[in-house]
Chains A and B, each alone.
Chain A
């Protein structure tokens, strides 16, 4: 079953190339996870379908909700069973979305055959994962042909460094993916470039460290990551790790350029609030360099200088623009990366944040600040949600647990650069029927700029 937006030439999911993906019809639906974890409402988290079709009478609202079976999952990131890598394989379809619960380690797998109304297909329990692989705290999901791998942030007891869980296309546990994890202190996100036999992985912290909340004493004690790892993808082992020290604290989202021939990309060091470029050299070595540095700001009432906290970054499908969110300062930025060594800022908008620059947007008091972002395939609409992680939300934006998170659209000028908030769209998760919830990562049924990789 193929989603509406996937007009395929070859029967399989996705698109023949990034250029083809950019020509896909405009997205009409969007999925986001919505959470009750840490809100005081003892209900399961859920997958929400949001109507993003401006011609629809229910535009800018949640039109379907599907709960997970258990409370406390903390749905966070998500991924598909198949992407554009299987475009030429008509036995594959982009039909199942995997929603891991970071706190319970449950993998909730939804069937999106009816794109508006996903239904729960299967749950792989956290207990089974812990028992068979000694791993917990699932994070990033990527498919690789018939296989799916998921970065796992801890062992069964929540200690570092975790590893990678391998499941097959029938959603059965195969085991651990990696052959050798030597060199990895912590785990978080990963991106791979199969044509260059490489993978890049980043470091957050042990679940037992980051789940209870962010503590600067833990940073001082070396309990947060500051290294980036380059892998031999076929050999499933790390070939080079780079310790970035104070400039590279808490490297989180890793993105590659979409051109499948490219061997470079960008990642953000969240706490240091720097963006680094990574690349593979002609002689097969791996290098990084800092290309963006967001200064801390002294804020009244805060004795410690406040970092911007770059929590999510992404790259447009044509590899022309970089977007990222500064979750503490409260802005979203667009950079032209035509010259990737010298990104140029071309747009900025403010939404909530601790600097207080935009407390109310489109008639709703913003709880939190720009956090997860997702870009339309044509690069013109950036969707943004405001929640980071329940315990961290409760530290930095304590009102969110009672007022819910929000979703906005930012219109992006892809010709001359520039960003503006769409005035006719806001989904206030403070108004959900079971009470205020937190909205986090978003996916389109037809694939998006953070889901697809071309083998």
Chain B
């Protein structure tokens, strides 16, 4: 890694008063938020269950082993904070209140 690349990025929690937390490039955002005093939703902690989903407003993350999101959910901007590690500074909306577009009733959707 080149020396001018920071080992941590700034992640802004939009709906927690725009709190800014420093997150290591190889640290799950959930862990950093907890250490900073923000208890966010968590369950399986391995990327398989969607409980920790948050919505990305800006930025990029890497999500090793994150399998819980389908294409629609990813396209809507959802990431899994238990596995998501920042690749750059990010702005995210967290908690169940960010889950408005995460779930849909499958019988309410026209199928092609």
- A73 vs B45: C-alpha distance in the bound complex, in angstroms? 11
Q: Is A401 an interface residue (CB 8 A)?
A: yes
Q: Establish whether residues A396 and B51, one from each chain, have CB atoms under 8 Å apart when the complex forms.
A: no
Residue ID in chain A nearest B49 by CB atoms: A211
Q: Which residues of A contact B49 (CB under 8 A)?
A: 103, 158, 207-208, 211-212, 391
CB contacts (< 8 Å) of A302 on chain B: these are 105, 107-108
- Interface positions, chain A 301-322, Cβ under 8 Å from B, are 301-306
Number of interface residues of A (CB under 8 A): 38
State the total of A-B contacts with C-beta under 8 angstroms: 104
Report the nearest A residue to B68, measured CB to CB. A212
**A217 CB within 8 Å of chain B:** yes
Which residues from B are CB-within-8-Å of A246?
A: none
Please judge, given known A-B contacts A216-B111, A303-B110, whether A211 and B50 are in contact too, CB under 8 Å.
Answer: yes
Whole-angstrom distance between the Cβ of B41 and the nearest chain A Cβ: 6
- Report whether B50 and A42 are in contact in the complex, using a CB–CB cutoff of 8 Å: no
CB distance from A221 to the nearest CB of B (A): 11
Minimal beta-carbon separation of A146 from chain B (angstroms): 31
- Tell whether A108 is near chain B: CB-to-CB under 8 Å: no
The answer for the CA separation of A136 and B46 in the assembled complex, in Å, is 11
User: Is B75's beta carbon under 8 Å from chain A?
Assistant: no
Contact residues, A149-176 vs B (CB, 8 A): 157-158
Interchain CB contact under 8 A, B44 and A391: no
Distance of A306 Cα from B102 Cα, bound (Å):
21
From DSSP, what is the main secondary structure of chain B's interface residues? loop
Is A211 touching B106 in the complex (CB atoms < 8 A)? no
Does A212 lie within 8 Å of B69, measured CB to CB?
A: yes
Q: In the complex, A214→B110 CA distance in Å?
A: 15
Residues of A within 8 Å of B65, CB to CB, are: 157
Contacts of B51 on A, CB cut-off 8 Å? 37-38, 72, 74, 103, 211, 390-391
Interface size on B, residues (CB 8 A): 32
Nearest CB to that of A156 among chain B residues? B46
Which residues of A sit under 8 angstroms from B102, Cβ to Cβ? 213, 394
Contact between A211 and B103 (Cβ–Cβ < 8 Å)? no
Q: Across the interface, do A208 and B103 meet the contact criterion of CB distance under 8 Å?
A: no
**Bound form: Cα–Cα A103–B49 in Å:** 7
Say if the beta carbon of A387 comes within 8 Å of chain B.
no
**What residues of chain B lie closer than 8 Å to A37, measured between beta carbons?**
41, 43, 51
Indicate whether A261 reaches chain B with its CB closer than 8 angstroms.
Answer: no
Chain B residue contacts of A73, Cβ below 8 A: 43
Q: How far is the CA of A191 from the CA of B47 in the complex (A)?
A: 31
The 8 Å CB contact of B111, one of A157, A207, A304, A395, is A304
Question: Which residues of chain B from 65 to 90 have any CB-CB distance to chain A below 8 Å in the complex?
Answer: 65, 67-70, 73
Chain B residues with CB below 8 A from A78, complex form: none
A40 touches B70 (CB 8 A): no
Q: Does B96 contact A (CB under 8 A)?
A: yes
User: Across the interface, which residues of A come within 8 angstroms of B40, CB to CB?
Assistant: 42
Residues of chain B with a CB closer than 8 A to A38's CB? 41, 51, 96
Is A414's beta carbon under 8 Å from chain B? no
Closest B residue to A395 by CB, please name it. Answer: B103
Q: Which of A40, A303, A390 contacts B109 (CB 8 A)?
A: A303
Residue among B42, B50, B95 making CB contact with A71, cutoff 8 Å: B42
Flag B26-67 by CB within 8 Å of A: 1 or 0 each: 000000000000011111111011110000000000000101
Contact A74 B103 (CB under 8 A): no
Is A259 an interface residue when CB atoms closer than 8 A count as contact? no
Chain A hits for B68, CB < 8 A: 208, 211-212
Check if A74 sits within 8 Å of B43, measured CB to CB: yes
Q: A38-B51, A207-B48 are in contact. Are A72 and B108 (CB under 8 A)?
A: no
Please tell me if the beta carbons of A158 and B48 are within 8 angstroms of each other in the complex. Answer: yes
Which of A39, A212, A215, A299 has the largest count of B CB atoms less than 10 A from its CB? A212
A451 within 8 A of B: no
Complex contacts, A103 vs chain B, CB 8 Å: 43-44, 49, 51
B105 touches A211 (CB 8 A): no
What is the minimal beta-carbon distance from B16 to any residue of chain A, in angstroms?
12
- Closest-CB distance, A233 to chain B (whole angstroms): 31
Determine if A215 and B44 form an interchain contact, defined as CB atoms under 8 angstroms apart. Answer: no
Check B107 against A306 for contact (C-beta < 8 Å).
Answer: yes
Residues of B within 8 A of A304 (CB): 106-109, 111
Whether B97 is near chain A, meaning CB under 8 Å from some CB there, is: yes
Q: Could you tell me which B residues sit within 8 Å of A by CB distance?
A: 39-46, 48-51, 65, 67-70, 73, 95-97, 99, 102-111
**A–B Cβ pairs within 8 angstroms, 23 of them:** A37-B43, A38-B51, A40-B41, A42-B39, A42-B95, A71-B42, A72-B51, A103-B43, A136-B44, A157-B65, A208-B48, A208-B67, A208-B68, A212-B69, A213-B50, A214-B106, A215-B70, A216-B106, A299-B107, A303-B111, A304-B107, A306-B107, A391-B49
Q: Using A74-B43, A395-B105 as known contacts, list a sample of 7 further A-B pairs with CB atoms less than 8 Å apart, ordered by residue number in A.
A: A103-B43, A103-B44, A212-B69, A212-B73, A305-B107, A391-B103, A398-B103
Please provide the 8 A-B residue pairs with the shortest distance between their CB atoms, ordered closest to farther: A40-B96, A72-B43, A103-B43, A158-B48, A211-B49, A212-B50, A212-B68, A304-B107
